[in-house]
Amino acid sequence: METYDLIILGGGLAGMCAAVEAGEEGASVLLLEKQDELGGSTVLSSGYMAFAGTDMQENAGITDTVESLMNDLIEVGGGVNNPELIKTYGQYQFETYRWLKDHGVEFRTLQAVSGHSVPRGHTIDPHQGIQALYKRVKELPNVTIRFNAPAKRLLKNSEDIIDRVLYETEGESVIVAATKGVLLSSGGFANSEELLQKFAPHLEGALRIGGEGNVGEGLKMAWEHGATILDRQYLSGTYGFHPSANSAVKSQGLAFYKGGIIVNQNGKRFIDESLSYKLLGNAALQQPEGITYQIWDQTVMDQAVHDDPLYDFQLLKRRRLLYQVDTLEELADCIDVPVEVLSETITTYNNGIQNGAEPEFGRKSLTHNYGTPTPIEKAPFYAFESTVAMLATYAGVAVNSKGQVLNAFNEPISGLYAAGEVTGGFHGAGYVTGSSLGKCAVFGRLAVRNALKKEIKV
Ligand SMILES: Cc1cc2nc3c(=O)[nH]c(=O)nc-3n(C[C@H](O)[C@H](O)[C@H](O)COP(=O)(O)OP(=O)(O)OC[C@H]3O[C@@H](n4cnc5c(N)ncnc54)[C@H](O)[C@@H]3O)c2cc1C
């Protein structure tokens, strides 16, 4: 039987960071990837990564601290995230940012994004990031990647340690052994109707956008061996996609984080738009007919960011997904809401934010505690029909800060590690943008380090 130090299941960001880290430590590694290419949901993502105290922030004149990042993660997560994981993220996030840069991952821009008190969204091109890590893997003779090789089962030895993996290749079932551990990095289950219906029936109306191979096989394999599954109750979609969006053409715009508002088919706001777009998503799905529109004016339009996955409103216009008109009357007509109600909604909102806080939902900032909303008053006006998409499933196996998968008694399941979207416990009840890719990189590396019993110096 083929035997390696480590077997890694899945080649997204978590698996690739783990493979490079373990390979550079001299471990023999087999990474099994179900698809014929790397990347999973990672390469579909907007590429935001949440780090604090970086040179990019310093150059932009932004003061930030690890404590503030950790506080935001806990506050947005409703205080139900595992504090041990948050602390570990805080401890290793900056070292991980430098490690990624040292390994050729290019950071491009810095943006204010959901859930952060300061601009902390460091963008990468996720394709470039995965390719940079793949280039490094190809230089490491001790790391093998096998494509079209879905893992099917985890096998235990007589001492109750997971030490083998059953996978399929070219129609055959093959068993491989790992002496130091098996790492699950197989992503979430955004493409599993079975698991979504089981865990999150309230998301039935949401679009599905996620890695093609992400159907929760890793989760099920760990579940079979008694892994605890956390955060099912917090599964939520992401708001801000045009109803025509899909994995290939995502058409997302978050004008509300630059000062837009969101109204329903009755022309009424229904939430504080500065909240996490996960919470906005839950509320949007409950609106009449599930239809909502982002509304903004030229002041917001002027803040569009070219080539940014979340803020390139001009691209949405070029795709003919926006209504652009000169008066609110015409706007109401376009989206078929009562004109007097829409005018009243906007007048109340404008008056409120100009007086410090708007009375209906208490909006005070653009995103979580950051930025000052501006009145919607400068023509032309824009409307973008928006809905919710299930992108990433932040419910998954319980892990400790070493990446060991835990059973119902919080005891490690010997030999089994997990990192990335297959894990739960990190985000809690709400998601902070960039913290998923961030956690993949931080915990992917930490898990294999722990399996190899080597520390990372920070
Ligand atoms: C449209 C979109 C935008 C997003 N934007 C952001 C963002 O800006 N910032 C952020 O932090 N997060 C974002 N996310 C979430 C984030 O991209 C994911 O949570 C993260 O990339 C997951 O990485 P991963 O390595 O855990 O899994 P993935 O990248 O999904 O990789 C898992 C891999 O495992 C493989 N696999 C699955 N099952 C098996 C099996 N049985 N055997 C072998 N291989 C298997 C899959 O094929 C896949 O290649 C976004 C997600 C989407 C879909």
In the numeric block, which tokens belong to residue 129?
């990031």
Identity of the residue numbered 202: H
Nearest-atom index, ligand 1, CA of 37: 49
Residue 111 beta carbon below 6 angstroms from any ligand 1 atom: no
**Cα–ligand 1 centroid distance for 393 (angstroms):** 9
Q: What is the pLDDT confidence band of residue 110, given thresholds at 50, 70 and 90? A: very high
Residue 59 CA to ligand 1 centre (angstroms): 30
Q: For the domain bounded by 3-234+392-452, which CATH number is listed? A: 3.50.50.60
Where do runs of H (alpha helix) occur along 103-170?
A: 126-138
Per DSSP (E only), the strands in 76-171 are: 107-111, 121-124, 143-146, 151-156, 162-169
Report the nearest atom of ligand 1 relative to the CA of 14: 25
pLDDT band at 9 (very low <50, low <70, confident <90, very high): very high
Give yes or no for residue 309 CB within 6 A of ligand 1: no
Nearest ligand 1 atom, CA 247: 1
Does the pLDDT at position 209 exceed 80?
Answer: yes
Q: What is the pTM of this model?
A: 0.94
The per-residue pLDDT for range 296-353, each reduced to its tens digit, is: 999 999 999 999 999 999 999 999 999 999 999 999 999 999 999 999 999 999 999 9
**Is the predicted pLDDT of residue 359 greater than 90, yes or no?**
no
Q: Are 183 and 15 in contact (CB under 8 A)?
A: yes
pLDDT (average), residues 65-73: 97
Q: What is the per-residue pLDDT for 310?
A: 94
The whole-angstrom separation of Cα 146 and Cα 137 is 12
Of 175, 122, 134, 148, nearest to 4 by C-alpha is 175
* Region(s) of the chain under CATH 3.90.700.10: 238-390
Closest C-alpha to ligand 1, atom 3: 45
Listing DSSP states for 357-405 in one string gives S-TTT---SSBTTBS----S-SSSEEEEEEEEEE-----EE-B-TT-EE
Could you tell me if the CB of 238 is within 6 A of ligand 1? no
The response to whether residue 8 sits with its C-beta less than 6 Å from ligand 1 reads no
Check whether 369 has a pLDDT greater than 90: no
Q: Examine the pLDDT at 224 and tell me if it is beyond 80.
A: yes
Q: Does the C-beta of 10 come closer than 6 Å to ligand 1? A: yes
The DSSP bridge pattern shows strands 404-406 and 381-390 to be unpaired
Q: What percent of the chain has pLDDT over 90?
A: 94
3-state secondary structure 64-88: CCHHHHHHHHHHHCCCCCCHHHHHH
How far, CA to CA in Å, does 270 sit from each of 263, 349, 363, 380? 7, 12, 11, 24
Return the H-helix or E-strand segment holding 418: strand 412-418
- Range in 143-152, 250-259, 274-283 the model is least confident about: 274-283
Q: Would you place residue 187 in the very low, low, confident or very high pLDDT band (cuts 50, 70, 90)?
A: very high
What's the confidence (pLDDT) of residue 379? 97
Cβ of 238: how many Cβ atoms within 10 Å?
Answer: 24
State the distance from the centre of ligand 1 to the C-alpha of 161, rounded, in angstroms. Answer: 27
The predicted-structure confidence for 255-286, as pLDDT tens digits, reads as follows: 999 999 999 999 999 999 999 898 999 999 99
* Mutational pocket test of ligand 1: of 436, 440, 442, 445, the residue with most ligand atoms within 8 Å of the beta carbon: 436
The predicted pLDDT at position 355 comes to 85
Distance set, CA 59 to CA 54, 64, 427 (Å): 9, 12, 29
Question: Which atom of ligand 1 is closest in space to residue 41's alpha carbon?
Answer: 30
- Lowest-confidence segment of 300-304, 359-363, 385-389 by average pLDDT: 359-363
Share of the chain above pLDDT 70, in %: 100
Whole-number Å distance, alpha carbon 41 to ligand 1 midpoint, is: 3
- The Å distance, Cα 204 to ligand 1 centre, comes to 21
Mean pLDDT of the chain: 96
Indicate the CATH number for domain 238-390.
Answer: 3.90.700.10
* Structure confidence at residue 455 as a pLDDT band (50, 70, 90): confident
H-assigned helices in 286-384:
298-301, 313-318, 328-335, 339-354
Q: Is residue 205 scored above 80 in pLDDT?
A: yes
Domain with CATH 3.50.50.60 in the chain: 3-234+392-452
pLDDT score of 358 more than 90: no
Cα(336) to ligand 1 centroid in Å equals 38
